[in-house]
């Protein structure tokens, strides 16, 4: 994925992550780190920072998930962490959406349709260009390397969310 394409999908990843940001809960230092990652991702998406500047900082917000006091808060922090990693690898945009869906599922256990609603909302936020860029990614589980390999994003709610998104945008998940 080109830098311009990563910037484009970073915008969508950030929209997904920001939607669940209110679920993020931890000590003030961790919250500041998560909000910093949001602002850095926005700067990258808008062309105000470079991939090189962001790559070294990409997982700071995700590591703050350990400080969260709820599972939903941890998933929200991981969503921001994935969004901030888009500068490194565009497939992390799907990770941001997936962890946002997981945060919603954990925050709304009494609503079995909450994840489907979240995924529909996320898909509605995609521009045509972003959709086309994401459709070029390998299907979840088809590539051994990168965020779409067999790992945390391929299982549970995150895996189901990515598969649903890829099915909708024209990828053919395995």
Nearest by Cα to 153 from 67, 75, 40, 41: 75
Rounded CA-CA distance 89/137 in Å is: 11
- Angle, in degrees to the nearest 10, between helices 128-135 and 3-20: 110
Which residues, in sequence order, are CB contacts of 151 under 8 Å at separation 6+? none
pLDDT number for residue 104: 97
Burial (0-12, 13-18, 19+ Cβ within 10 Å), 131 = middle
User: Which stretches of the chain score pLDDT less than 50?
Assistant: 172-174
pLDDT given for residue 172 in this prediction: 46
Show the tokens assigned to 157. Answer: 């709610």
- Residue 41 structure tokens: 């991702």
């Amino acid at each position: 994925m080109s830098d311009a394409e990563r910037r484009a999908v970073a915008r969508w990843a950030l929209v997904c992550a920001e939607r669940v940001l209110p679920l993020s809960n931890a000590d003030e230092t961790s919250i500041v780190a998560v909000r910093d990652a949001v602002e850095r991702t926005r700067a990258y998406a808008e062309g105000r920072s470079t991939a090189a500047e962001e790559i070294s900082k990409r997982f700071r917000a995700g590591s703050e998930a350990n400080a969260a006091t709820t599972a939903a808060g941890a998933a929200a922090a991981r969503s921001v962490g994935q969004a901030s990693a888009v500068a490194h690898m565009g497939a992390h945009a799907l990770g941001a959406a997936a962890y946002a869906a997981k945060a919603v599922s954990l925050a709304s256990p009494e609503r079995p349709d909450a994840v489907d609603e979240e995924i529909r909302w996320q898909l509605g936020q995609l521009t045509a260009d972003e959709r086309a860029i994401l459709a070029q990614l390998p299907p979840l589980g088809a590539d051994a390397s990168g965020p779409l390999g067999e790992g945390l994003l391929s299982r549970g709610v995150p895996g189901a969310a990515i598969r649903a998104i890829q099915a909708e945008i024209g990828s053919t998940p395995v």
